[in-house]
Structure 1
Amino acid sequence: MMRLVRRWSLLLAMALAVPLQAQEAPVLRVTAKAAAQGQTGATVQLQLEVMTSTWFTQPPRLPKLDLPGVLVTPPSGEAELVRANQDGQALSGLRYTYLLSAQSAGTIQIPALSVTAQLGPGGAPVTAESAPLSIVFGGDAQPGKVVGALTVTQAFALAPDPMVQGGRVTRSVTQRADGVQAMLLPPAPLADVPHFKRYPREPEVVTLTDGRGGFVGGQRIDRADYVAQEAGSFALPPLTLNWADEHSGAPQSKTLPGRQIEVAAAPQAAPPFSLADDLARLRHGLRWALPAWAMPALIGLAAAGLALWLGWTWWRRLARALIAAAGAGRTRWRTSETRYWLAWRREARGTQPVLSDCYRWIRRSSGAVALRAALAPMAEGDRQLAENTLRQVYGAGGGHADWRARLAARSRAWRKAWRRRRPARAALPAGLNPVDQGRNARMGRS
């Protein structure tokens, strides 16, 4: 009897545990809803509801939807809270909206959409999918036209008001379409207008929602600034915008009126201040002022200093080369025939009865040490002049000075003759020739 009671008790406990475990398992339901028909170019909303019997520990991972020939805008991240009841079980979740715009007529097949979500309390990922859908789009495609209910308004703003030449008129056209994506709204035809220069602005394209993730429509605002180029009375033309009815596809249009603009001539406004007076006041009280050439001079000095610093090594080499060249030039001048000739000319104009500079010049020009040896190849008259000069200088008649004039006058002809004669090349270098060394020593003593 006791065994029978225990057996029935165990079976009862197992029967009660099965519905308890089934009740504790979280439920995920995914439902896709959309209109069965739509107009080509219009916007159809595909609503995807993700509901659970518990709660979401993380936002659901939505699928990516790609449909050929259909412009698909995925949910923006906002969702609408929804609640439902299934078989007596309370469900709550989120409703996401996909926006579909078909570019051509035909039937669009929407596959099953798989959603993965992490549900409480354990946070285990659960996956569910919706049932496939199909949408039939009818009508002809009308590029550049809105398919839906379109509301169009405009506004004018003048700056300044009343308008003058050089002022601007800002024309704004606002298009609002319920149930139409903002990117499908065409730009307003704000074209060029005679007598005005048009400056278009960037359009403002906004998606309208109800604040809870629900899609409402789209809005586009186009603006253009018209700057008056001349004075007169001019008109901004009316604008016509076209669209198609969402249900029937019938063409619709609305014309926005233009506006007559009176443009006055720009006044000759006096300058608000005098630049010359301001500059004079700024200079007032200064104790000194830099002249106009000071700044270029300072810039030139700075550039020269920079060049000197950058090329210091090169400049040192150049300076050493110039110094060496100058020294070589001085050496050549001290040993040149011209220097000895000028010294002899100065000596000839003097009063001292000496021939020191004359002998040095003769040695440099002819290569001979004595006057007789230098004039030996010359004519008899030149040799006789040399003898008379030596007697007058070193003999008893040394007091007479007329020999200087005769010798100085005749030395010009000797100089020309010695310049035409090429001296014989020595067998030994000058530093190793004992004859030349002896002559140089005697010449130095003279």
Structure 2
Amino acid sequence: MRLLCFTLALWLIMGSTGFAAEPFARAGIENTGRIVPGQQVRIHVDVFVPDFFTSPPQFPLFDLPDAIVTLPESRALNMVETINGVQYAGIRRTYAVVPMSSGNFTLPPAAITLGYSQNGKPVSGQTTLPAMQFTVTEPSGGATAALTFAARGLTITQSFDRDPSTLKVGDALVRTITVFAEETQAMLIPAVPVTTVAGMKQYPKSPKIADGVEAEDRTTGSTRPETTTFIAEVVGTTEIPAVSYPWFDVEAQANAVAVLPGTLVKVSKSAPASTGLASQIEETDDRAWSSKTTLSVAAGLFAVLVVGCWLVVKKLAWVRRGGMAHGIPSGEVSSACLPRSA
């Protein structure tokens, strides 16, 4: 009898150990406190297998009514835990869920496929998302007007490619407004309100949104930069109006407004366009002067040549006369005047 009881107990222990040594998943929510519509909720999902993974778990994207679900491309976290004497290897991925309305939200039982080692052999396995639930409530104080976008640590800045007070008619002025916010997704950041500027045409560009951007203080968030080119058309002083950007601060649980100040723009007359006549006149004068100089030099050389020839003729005539005076025939005089060949 005792032997039977001992055998039964041993079988139960081994059976429970074998049951425990199976892949499983658990989930946890990172957000604490009240969750409002439009706020990003980070949900950690941990998948564990006994021993080690032979192929990583495939975390699926799932549908959640009235919510936007994404799986950011962040680095997976590796873990090791010992549960009931069994060592498990774990991998964590984090989902970003943005509920668009109030109410209760429950994760669906989506399947997670994987591979792991069992008794030294690779086997295929599967587990499911745990049925975790979270509640979204409307904010207090009548703050429902700004619930289309909720974030933390929002900042809005602007920059210009040149001094706005030194423009001339026809000049271009490029303004870039950048919205940075934590705990949100770039695709959810609303556009900056459009403002019109008297006397200037506007040419906006499509924004280049980005997630996982590190700010100067090393905080990580999402950005939405918007670039607009202004073309000055009228002389005078005008103003690019101030910008008011409403949002909901999840840390303060209250509506907030980020403000950009207005910017004065001074436009003066543009300089007259150069026709190129002056340079052409100068070039013509230079060419004329060059021609006159060349002619003068040529005339001088011609005069020297004429004088030289005249002197040579005079010299030859003098030599002939001198030769005849000494009784030398003119032919011989001529020969005597010629240089002897070597």
Q: Normalised by the shorter chain, which TM-score bucket?
A: 0.5 to 0.7
Shift of 1:246: 0.9
SS of the residue aligned with 1:269?
coil
Is residue 99 from structure 1 mapped to residue 76 from structure 2 by the alignment?
Answer: no
- Deviations along 1:341-366, one digit per CA (max 9) or x if unpaired, are xxxxxxxxxxxxxxxxxxxxxxxxxx
Letter paired with 1:270 = S
Q: Which residue identity does 1:198 align to in structure 2? A: Q
TM-score by length of 1: 0.51
Which is bigger in relative contact order (C-alpha 8 A, separation at least 6)? 2
Task: Please say if 1:146 is aligned against 2:149.
Answer: yes
Question: Using the alignment, how far apart are the partners of 2:55 and 2:163 within structure 1?
Answer: 53
Q: SS at the partner of 2:56?
A: coil
Contact 1:197 1:229 in 2 (8 A): yes
1:274-327 per-residue CA deviation (whole Å, 9 max, x = no partner) reads: 9x9xxxxxxxxxxxxxxxxxxxxxxxxxxxxxxxxxxxxxxxxxxxxxxxxxxx
Following the alignment from structure 1 to structure 2, what is the Cα–Cα distance between the partners of residues 69 and 256?
33
Deviations 1:86-135 (A, max 9, x none): 23444333211111111111111223343110113533111123431111
- Report the alpha carbon displacement of residue 182 of structure 1 after superposing the two structures with TM: 1.3
Distance 1:113 1:164, change over 3 A: same
Residues 355-406 of structure 1: per-residue CA shift (max 9 Å, x gap): xxxxxxxxxxxxxxxxxxxxxxxxxxxxxxxxxxxxxxxxxxxxxxxxxxxx
Check conservation: 1:179, 1:217, Cα contact below 8 A.
yes
Give the TM-score taking structure 2 as reference length: 0.65
- Partner Cα separation in structure 1 for residue 72 and residue 105 of structure 2: 19
- The aligned counterpart of 1:157 is 161
Please tell me the root mean square deviation across aligned C-alpha atoms, in Å: 3.6
Distance in 2 separating the partners of 1:164 and 1:253 = 34
C-alpha contact 1:193 1:236 (8 A) present in aligned 2:
yes
Mapped contact 1:26–1:119 kept (Cα < 8 A): no
Query: Whole-Å Cα distance in 2 between the matches of residues 197 and 67 of structure 1?
Result: 44
Letter in 2 for 1:165: V
- 1:77-96 alignment, distance < 5 Å: 78-96=75-93
Distance 2:213 2:27 in 1: 20
Q: Note if contact 1:40-1:137 (Cα within 8 Å) is conserved in structure 2.
A: yes
CA distance in 2, matches of 1:206, 1:224: 18
2:266 aligned partner: 262
- 1:136 Cα shift? 0.7
| Matched positions, count | 259
CA-CA distance at 1:249 after TM superposition: 3.7
Alignment partner, residue 54 of structure 1: 51
Map residues 69-80 of structure 1 onto 2, 5 A cutoff. Answer: 69-76=66-73, 78-80=75-77
Query: Which secondary structure state, in structure 2, belongs to the residue aligned with residue 67 of structure 1?
Result: coil
2: CA distance, partners of 1:84 / 1:173:
47
- Answering whether residue 100 of structure 2 is matched by residue 108 of structure 1, we say no
Shift of 1:209: 6.6
The equivalent residue for 2:248 is 244
Q: Deviations over 1:142-165 (max 9, x none)?
A: 467421221222212228983222
Provide the rounded CA distance (Å) in 2 between the counterparts of 1:192 and 1:168: 16
| Partner Cα distance (1:267, 1:41) in 2 | 52
How far apart in 2 are the matches of 1:160 and 1:94?
A: 53
> 1:220 and 1:80, CA in 2 relative to 1: closer, same or farther beyond 3 A?
farther
Residues 148 and 273 from structure 1, CA distance in 2 versus in 1: closer, same or farther, beyond 3 angstroms?
farther
In the TM superposition, residue 186 of structure 1 has moved relative to its aligned partner by 0.3
CA contact (8 A) 1:117 1:125 kept: yes
Report how far residue 241 of structure 1 moved: 0.7
Query: Which 5+ residue runs of structure 1 have no aligned equivalent?
Result: 1-10, 277-446
Distance in 1, Cα, partners of 2:233 & 2:86:
73
The equivalent position to 1:175 in structure 2, one of 175, 179, 185, is 179
Matched residue, 1:185 = 189
SS in 2 for 1:244: strand
Q: Which residue identity is paired with 1:67? A: L
C-alpha distance in 2, partners of 1:96/1:209? 19
For structure 2, the 5+ residue unaligned runs are 1-5, 281-342
> Which protein has the larger Cα radius of gyration, Structure 1 or Structure 2?
1
Aligned partners of 1:104, 1:144: CA distance in 2, in Å?
9
Aligned in 2, Cα 1:231/1:101: closer, same or farther, shift over 3 Å? same
1:43 has 2:47 as partner: no
The CA deviation at 1:191 is 2.3
Q: How far apart, in 2, do the equivalents of 1:254 and 1:87 lie? A: 53
Contact 2:248 2:254 (C-alpha < 8 Å) held by counterparts: yes
1:30 and 2:33 are equivalent in the alignment: no
Q: Quick one: which amino acid aligns to residue 199 of structure 2?
A: H
